[in-house]
């Protein structure tokens, strides 16, 4: 019986080692940038602990998602596990939990208690982002720029009073353009996941999800997050671990 057990463990390890997964990524500063960044760091530890070999491939977002949908042994890093996407992939997550918030310059003293309070103001948001989609649902008056770096610059020159962005991304870009911003309101918390091609073995998915749970519980994710302290403010996210 003992030898049978050893045999099956070895067999399962061999099976996982034999797997090779392509991690498709797309640029989302500061989470993924030139195959580096916070999300990449988490994924690397996850795959290494799971004993699964991998390679990282960078491409535009749509291409990364479509390639994963169409190609076996492919995954796409850092997408929202939405109801519309649920049946198209198998899921490992959340790799990270992010928050979208409303920001203004530090000196802005407009009274904001609830989201509805800003409905009459034009709001900066990044083109093609999940945030833009979310705001569209409320029929808001948005000013769309190509990315959040441009939005930070627009806020600096007061082209608009408010900016809606991911909290880590906002902090990162605000530092880059040297402005002091103030978080006015958290709007939505998002579970970001690693989506796999639908034909991926359930064993791999279960194994990776188990390792990920351990990484949350043993403080690994928190440690990786805190290694970026000098680059951006992450206290909103760190709070989940308290």
Partner 1 sequence: MLFIRPHKALIFYIFILIFLFQNSIANTDVLNKWIEKEFQPSTLNKQQQLEELIWFQKAAQPFKGMEIRVVSERIDTHWYEASVLAKAFKEITGISIIHEITGEDDVVKKINVHLKKGLNLYDMYINDSDLIGTHFRSGKVVALSDFMNKEGKDVTLPTLDIKDFMGLSFVTGPDKKIYQLPDQQFANLYWYRADWFARDDLKKRFKKIYGYELNVPVNWSAYEDIAEFFTIHVHKLDGKKIYGHMDYGKKDPSIGWRFSDAWLSMAGVGDKGLPNGLPVDEWGIRVENCRPVGASVSRGGAANSPAAVYALRKFNEWLKKYAPPEAKHMNFSQAGSVAAQGHIAQQIFWYTAFTTSMTKKGLPVVNKDGTPKWKMAPSPHGVYWEKGMKLGYQDAGSWTMLKSVPLKRRKAAWLYAQFVVSKTVSLKKTIVGLTPIRISDINSKHMSKLSKNLGGLVEFYRSKARLLWTPTGTNVPDYPLLSPAWWKTVPKVIEEGVSAQDAMNELARYLDERLLFLSKGKELKCSPLLNQAKNPSYWLNKKGSPKKRILNEKPKGITIDYQKALEIYD
Q: Which residues in this chain contact partner 1 in the complex, by CB under 8 A?
A: 81-84, 86-87, 94, 97, 113-117, 185-189, 191, 212-213, 216-217, 239-242
Comparing CB distances to partner 1, the nearer of 107 and 242 is 242
Local structure of 103: helix, strand or coil: strand
Find the helix packing angle between 202-217 and 38-49, rounded to 10°. Answer: 110
CB of 119 to partner 1, least distance (A): 9
Work out the number of other CB atoms within 10 angstroms of the CB of residue 103: 26
Comparing CB distances to partner 1, the nearer of 10 and 188 is 188
Comparing CB distances to partner 1, the nearer of 97 and 179 is 97
CB of 23 to partner 1, least distance (A): 21
CB of 242 to partner 1, least distance (A): 6
Sign of the Cα torsion 188, 194, 196, 200 reads negative
Work out the number of other CB atoms within 10 angstroms of the CB of residue 204: 20
Local structure of 241: helix, strand or coil: helix
CB of 128 to partner 1, least distance (A): 20
Entry field: residues in the chain: 242
Comparing CB distances to partner 1, the nearer of 129 and 145 is 129
Among 87, 239, 233, 86, CA closest to 166:
233
Ramachandran region, residue 35 (left: φ > 0; alpha: ψ -120 to 50; beta: rest): left
CB of 141 to partner 1, least distance (A): 16
Integer-rounded Cα radius of gyration of the chain:
20
CB of 214 to partner 1, least distance (A): 10
Comparing CB distances to partner 1, the nearer of 230 and 242 is 242
Comparing CB distances to partner 1, the nearer of 97 and 105 is 97
Among 110, 98, 108, 187, CA closest to 155:
108
Comparing CB distances to partner 1, the nearer of 91 and 145 is 91
Whether 109 and 59 have beta carbons less than 8 Å apart is answered as no
Among 180, 149, 152, CA closest to 33:
149
CB of 223 to partner 1, least distance (A): 15
């Amino acid at each position: 019986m003992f030898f049978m057990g050893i045999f099956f463990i070895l067999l399962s390890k061999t099976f996982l080692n034999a797997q090779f997964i392509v991690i498709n990524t797309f640029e989302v500063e500061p989470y993924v940038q030139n195959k580096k960044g916070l999300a990449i760091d988490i994924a690397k530890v996850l795959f290494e602990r799971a004993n699964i070999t991998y390679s990282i491939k960078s491409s535009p977002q749509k291409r990364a998602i479509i390639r994963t949908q169409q190609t076996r042994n492919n995954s796409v890093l850092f997408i929202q596990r939405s109801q519309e996407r649920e049946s198209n992939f198998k899921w490992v997550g959340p790799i990270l939990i992010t928050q979208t918030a409303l920001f203004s310059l530090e000196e802005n003293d407009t009274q904001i208690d609830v989201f509805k309070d800003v409905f009459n103001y034009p709001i900066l948001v990044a083109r093609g982002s999940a945030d833009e989609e979310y705001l569209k649902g409320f029929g808001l008056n948005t000013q769309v720029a190509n990315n959040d770096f441009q939005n930070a610059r627009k806020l600096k020159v007061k082209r608009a009073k408010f900016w809606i962005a991911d909290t880590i991304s906002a902090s990162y870009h605000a530092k880059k353009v040297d402005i002091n911003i103030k978080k006015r309101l958290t709007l939505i918390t998002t579970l970001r996941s690693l989506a796999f091609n639908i034909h991926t073995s359930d064993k791999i998915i279960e194994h990776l999800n188990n390792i990920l749970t351990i990484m949350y519980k043993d403080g690994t994710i928190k440690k990786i997050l805190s290694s970026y302290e000098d680059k951006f403010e992450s206290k909103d996210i760190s709070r989940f671990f308290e």
